[in-house]
Structure 1
Amino acid sequence: MTVTYNAEVATVRGLGCFLKLLARWRGSIYKLVWMDLILFLTIYYSLNVTYRYILDESGKHVFESMVIYCKDYVNLIPLSFVLGFYVSVIMTRWWNQYTSIPHPDPLAVFVSATVHGQDERGRVMRRTIMRYVCCCVTMIFTMISPRVKKRFPTLDHFVEAGLLQQSERDIIGDLDKKFPKYPKHWLPIVWASSIVTRARKEGRIRDDFAVKTLVDELNKFRGQCGILLQYDHINIPLVYTQLFIVILLRIL
């Protein structure tokens, strides 16, 4: 979860506001790397003590040759370029992940504006469409967020929360048994599309353009959910992360 600090910067008075940010512990780089830093310093000073007080002259000569060899080859790596490239990739990926999070609110506006009817059936149709949309995004979050997975560990918890009915839970459960490796988040969107088609046949949607708008929005919502899965399944190549760690150790 992102740790925000905008309010502190906006309301600060006097000098040193950004120096205070450097001293923050929660969400800081110090909290992230302090154990690795301790390990690095331990190894560094162990080698230092070994070189100064334990090795003889021949051992010191071999040690110095290894240091010079490593230094010459490390200088061949364009540290600033690789570091800037990695940070750029990380920040772009982080922001794209945030902007790809699907929100049901625009769909709720479209459903409320296009699916007409003040009777009980019209209200049930609108609520069912939005229930399927919320069910879809919740299923996605259970696959990428441990906290949401803890809240909804099984499909029975979706039924208890009112996101699924028992018959719908049985359908998804049967699909999970037949195709266990594939996500089923798209199925509630298919059900929502069928309700849109039924509402058009019953005259609750005035024209085909409104139907197309609703279906396009449902497909867009499903596509954003799929993008979140792709971000979760496809990581930044490990070689970039490993090279970044080597560069940090080199700078330290």
Structure 2
Amino acid sequence: MTVTYTGEVATCRGFGTFLKVLYRWRGSIYKLVWLDLLTYLLVYYILSLIYRLLLNEESKRLFEGVVNYCSFHGNVIPLSFVLGFYVTVVMNRWWNQYTTIPWPDSIAVFVSASIHGQDERGRLMRRTILRYVCLCLTMVLTMISPRVKKRFPTLDNLVEAGLLIDNEKTILEHLNKKFPKPSKHWYEIFLIPLPIVWATSIVTRARKEGRIRDDFAVKTIIDELNKFRGQAGLLLSYDTISVPLVYTQ
């Protein structure tokens, strides 16, 4: 979870600035591991009391031998190196996920500049392409974010939001009925790029009608659509493929 805190400390001066960040609870390491820490301290003090109050001298020597054995073999494992490598992987993965989020702004600029015509059909083409792009992004986020899924639990909600129309909803429902239990990989391969395919069809139609002046502009728009699709698929890959469990353990 990413929690913004820079606004609270950006204008701080003097003593206490670092402590204000260090002891912040929301989004902190304390909130994440407090239960594990309490369990560890409880087990530690139970063993300490048993060692100091209940064990005889022979049992204490046996206990100390076990402790020395664990300490020696614990130092054999390069824990600091492995931990540093794991933290690097997690931080890079977190930042790459953010930078991978596709934004429709660049596509909107290219579509607005390349598809000409101030009549109703020209405006409808431009708006429909951007609607398909937003639909693709929303479908991806419903598979990743519980909040977005709660906002758009069904295709009917996409229709109500204006991202989908009835005949397009019928096409998607037909695919769902044909494959009633699709895997996440199936969704990624077939359902998610479907709005992008519809958008490219409109671009091709606009070129045939002369609303796009040259093939280079067509290639530019389609390249941006493919880039958008690739970033959306990469987001799904981040959601599907986790950090290997052996690193976490």
Which TM class, normalised by the smaller chain length? over 0.9
- CA-to-partner distance for each residue in 1:23-64, whole Å, 9 max, x for gaps? 111111111111111111111111111222223333323322
In 2, Cα distance between the equivalents of 1:166 and 1:10? 49
2:91 corresponds to 1:84: no
Matches of 2:224 and 2:98, distance apart in 1: 19
Quote the residue 1:233 is aligned against: 240
- The offset of 1:17, in angstroms, is 1.3
Between 1:3-12 and 1:207-216, the stretch displaced more is: 3-12
Amino acid corresponding to residue 11 of structure 2 in structure 1 = T
Aligned counterpart, 2:223: 216
- The match for 2:173 is 173
In the alignment, what sits opposite 2:212? 205
Equivalent position SS for 2:110: helix
| Structure 1 residue 212, shift from structure 2 partner | 0.5
How far did 1:100 drift?
0.2
What displacement does 1:18 show? Answer: 1.3
Question: For residues 57 and 160 of structure 1, what CA distance do their matches in structure 2 show?
Answer: 76
Q: Deviations over 1:170-204 (max 9, x none)?
A: 11122223342211111000000000001111111
* Post-superposition offset of 1:157: 1.1
Map 1:37-116; keep pairs closer than 5 Å. 37-116=37-116
Partner of 1:188: 195
Q: Distance in 2 between matches of 1:164 and 1:62?
A: 71
Post-superposition Cα deviations, 1:140-159, rounded to whole Å, max 9, x if no partner, equal: 00111111011111111111
**Aligned residue pairs: how many?**
242
Task: Give distance in 2, aligned partners of 1:13 and 1:173.
Answer: 59
Letter in 1 for 2:102: P
Find the residue that maps to 1:103 and give its secondary structure.
coil
For residues 221 and 82 of structure 2, what CA distance do their matches in structure 1 show?
Answer: 45
Gaps of 5+ in 1: 243-252
> What is the SS of the residue equivalent to 1:75?
helix
Which secondary structure does the structure 1 equivalent of 2:76 belong to? coil
Task: For 1:114-133, list aligned pairs within 5 A.
Answer: 114-133=114-133
Q: Which amino acid aligns with 1:186?
A: P
| Aligned-partner residue type, residue 192 of structure 1 | A
Does residue 152 of structure 1 match 2:159?
no
Paired AA for residue 41 in structure 1:
L
Does residue 1:3 correspond to 2:3, yes or no? yes
- The C-alpha deviation readout for 1:77-98, integer Å capped at 9, x for no partner, is 1122112111111111111111
Question: How far 1:116 moved relative to its partner?
Answer: 0.8
Tell me whether 1:139 sits opposite 2:135 in the alignment. no
Q: CA RMSD in A?
A: 1.2
| Contiguous gaps of at least 5 residues in structure 2 | none
